[in-house]
Amino acid sequence: MLKGKHILLGVTGSIAAYKAAMLCRLLKTAGAEVKVLMTPTAKEFITPLTMATLSKNPVAVEFYNPENGDWHSHISMGEWADCLLIAPATANTLAKMAHGVADNLLLTTYLSARCSTVVAPAMDCDMFAHEATQANIALLKERGVTVIDSPSGELASGLSGKGRMAEPEAILRFLESFPGLNQKKKSNLAGRRFVVTAGATIEAIDPVRYITNHSTGKMGYAVAGELAARGARVTLISGHTVLPTPAGVERTDVASAEEMYDAARKAFADADGAVMCAAVADYTPKEVSPSKIKKDGDTLTIELRRTKDIAASLGREKGDRLLVGFALETDDEIVNAEEKLRRKNFDFIVLNSLRDKGAGFGVDTNKVTIIDAEGGKALPLMSKSDTAAAIADRMESFFER
Ligand code: CTP
């Protein structure tokens, strides 16, 4: 995943700068190309010589080289990078990033970079907890910067708490599954909030049994990951799945259709849009037996009642926000999908047909048709992550209007 990727490693003036050396080495071992940018204060903590030797590239600190006048272009460095990774990121640098201060090469590079930006904060626990720092971090997240959470632990100050930089190995693992590395151009989804529903709901019959379906959540998780990679703030409302949470996504687990309805409506209140990938039960047992139902007789009848339609409910109140639906059909696919598009007030609907080989439950590929009020566009058989990218591209066009 990191092979051949261009990582611009920004190092700022924190005691954790010594970890940047190990991080640089790990990135190089994983096959990435690394160029290092340091703030003037970072040089007090670790030498450019160390970072240049490890990255096998000259280190840039000042706007120009005082010996020969060579100009270090912040624009070209930003263009070279697939990702600007600032680790460690001090409270000072985070504050300047949040407020557009451009008084060193690292900051001008951040302001002009079109690639994704990832920061790993590093500071004392009280500085980290301070309202100003937390507000700056929230603002940066809002604008699409990905923040690698700071773990709790012993700090250089002797205190203990949250604020230390994530370990280089953890940062490497994060980057290895960070889809934002493939994102060259800054997306207009960056900073917007989206709700994604995914996976199957579980409708209890009694404490032991339930009704569910074959959805594994792969498509919804791929969409959530792709949106986060483009800098969006994603709340993933997840039914039953065994999948790991995609990088940068906030996940809320639910079981029943009713729980998913409540969680999705709550998250949609301040969202710019929603993508409804979940396979929601249309019916749920009218009554859940409080104790295990014992066998008795040859047949058993369970009375079911309709669940609430989450998508239709968001569709009624969406206004000019974006609502994307999914339709899984076996017959009269296009006609059924178009009917759902209108009835649920989707801006577009992603149709998969169970008749298509390689599409549907559990597999890693999908073959979809994206349908809006103007008509449909059939896409070829692709991986679910490429399908998610196509859906995100279509979402970007919605916000270009
Ligand atoms: N959906 C939802 N809440 C429900 C049922 C469906 O949010 N209670 C959403 C799905 O996530 C999907 C879309 O609505 O985006 C279409 O779901 P589907 O089950 O195919 O449509 P239904 O309206 O349930 O139609 P039918 O079962 O008749 O095919």
CATH of the domain at 52: 3.40.50.1950
pLDDT-derived band at 86, boundaries 50, 70, 90: very high
> Which of 132, 159, 182 delimits the end of a domain?
182
**Ligand 1 lining (C-beta closer than 6 Å):** 197, 257, 276, 278, 280, 282, 307, 309-311, 325-328, 340, 344
What's the CA-to-centroid distance between 380 and ligand 1, angstroms?
A: 24
Q: Is residue 46 part of a domain?
A: yes
Report pLDDT for 180. Answer: 77
Lowest mean pLDDT among 204-208, 227-231, 275-279, 335-339: 227-231
Average per-residue pLDDT for the chain: 92
Do 228 and 252 lie in a common domain?
yes
Report pLDDT for 231. Answer: 87
In angstroms, rounded to a whole number, what is the distance separating the alpha carbons of residues 314 and 64?
Answer: 54
Single pTM value for the model: 0.69
In angstroms, rounded to a whole number, what is the distance separating the alpha carbons of residues 11 and 90?
Answer: 9
What's the CA-to-centroid distance between 224 and ligand 1, angstroms?
A: 19
What's the CA-to-centroid distance between 327 and ligand 1, angstroms?
A: 7
Q: Which tens digit of pLDDT belongs to each residue from 127-148?
A: 999 999 999 999 998 888 889 9
What's the CA-to-centroid distance between 401 and ligand 1, angstroms?
A: 27
Is residue 114 predicted with pLDDT exceeding 60?
A: yes
User: Percent of the chain scored above 90 by pLDDT?
Assistant: 75
Do 54 and 139 lie in a common domain?
yes
Do 175 and 205 lie in a common domain?
no
Do 79 and 134 lie in a common domain?
yes
> Which of 182, 212, 232 delimits the end of a domain?
182
Mutate to test the pocket of ligand 1, among 197, 219, 280, 344 (most ligand atoms within 8 A of CB): 280
Q: Is residue 355 part of a domain?
A: yes
Of all protein residues, the one whose alpha carbon is nearest to atom 27 of ligand 1 is 282
Ligand 1 atom with minimal separation from the 327 CA: 20
Do 258 and 119 lie in a common domain?
no
Report pLDDT for 184. Answer: 57
The total number of structural domains that make up the chain:
2
Q: Is residue 15 part of a domain?
A: yes
Of all protein residues, the one whose alpha carbon is nearest to atom 4 of ligand 1 is 309
Is residue 76 predicted with pLDDT exceeding 90?
A: no
Lowest mean pLDDT among 175-184, 204-213, 314-323: 175-184
> Which of 182, 214, 246 delimits the end of a domain?
182
Mutate to test the pocket of ligand 1, among 344, 361, 371 (most ligand atoms within 8 A of CB): 344
Report pLDDT for 3. Answer: 92
Helix/strand/coil percent split, the chain, to 5: 35, 25, 40
Neighbours of 296 (CB within 10 A): 7
Mutate to test the pocket of ligand 1, among 211, 238, 282 (most ligand atoms within 8 A of CB): 282
What domain range includes position 61? 6-182
In angstroms, rounded to a whole number, what is the distance separating the alpha carbons of residues 196 and 95?
Answer: 30
Torsion angle of alpha carbons 51, 55, 56, 59, nearest 10°?
-50
Report pLDDT for 79. Answer: 85
Q: Is residue 100 part of a domain?
A: yes
Q: Is 213 a catalytic residue?
A: yes
Largest CA distance in the chain: 93
What's the CA-to-centroid distance between 280 and ligand 1, angstroms?
A: 7
Ligand 1 atom with minimal separation from the 314 CA: 7
Report pLDDT for 178. Answer: 82
Do 228 and 200 lie in a common domain?
yes
Is residue 165 predicted with pLDDT exceeding 80?
A: yes
Q: Is residue 1 part of a domain?
A: no
Do 150 and 204 lie in a common domain?
no
Of all protein residues, the one whose alpha carbon is nearest to atom 1 of ligand 1 is 311
What's the CA-to-centroid distance between 344 and ligand 1, angstroms?
A: 9
Of all protein residues, the one whose alpha carbon is nearest to atom 23 of ligand 1 is 340
Q: Which tens digit of pLDDT belongs to each residue from 244-301?
A: 999 889 999 999 999 999 999 999 999 999 999 999 999 999 999 999 999 999 999 9
Is residue 196 predicted with pLDDT exceeding 90?
A: yes
Q: Is residue 340 part of a domain?
A: yes
- Which CATH number do you get for residue 206? 3.40.50.10300
Report pLDDT for 110. Answer: 95
8-state DSSP, 303: -
Do 332 and 377 lie in a common domain?
yes
Q: Is residue 188 part of a domain?
A: no
Show the CA angle centred on residue 9, arms to residues 8 and 13, nearest 5°: 145
Backbone angles phi, psi at 366, to 5 degrees: -155, 155
Q: Is residue 303 part of a domain?
A: yes
pLDDT-derived band at 183, boundaries 50, 70, 90: low
Do 121 and 264 lie in a common domain?
no
What's the CA-to-centroid distance between 265 and ligand 1, angstroms?
A: 16
pLDDT-derived band at 185, boundaries 50, 70, 90: low
Nearest Cα neighbor of 247 from 234, 237, 262, 256 is 234
Of all protein residues, the one whose alpha carbon is nearest to atom 16 of ligand 1 is 327
Catalytic residue among 57, 182, 213, 345: 213
Do 354 and 236 lie in a common domain?
yes
Instruction: Choose the most confident range, by mean pLDDT, from 84-93, 145-154, 157-166.
Output: 84-93
Do 267 and 380 lie in a common domain?
yes
Report pLDDT for 365. Answer: 80
Do 201 and 83 lie in a common domain?
no
Show the CA angle centred on residue 366, arms to residues 215 and 201, nearest 5°: 15
Is residue 44 predicted with pLDDT exceeding 70?
A: yes
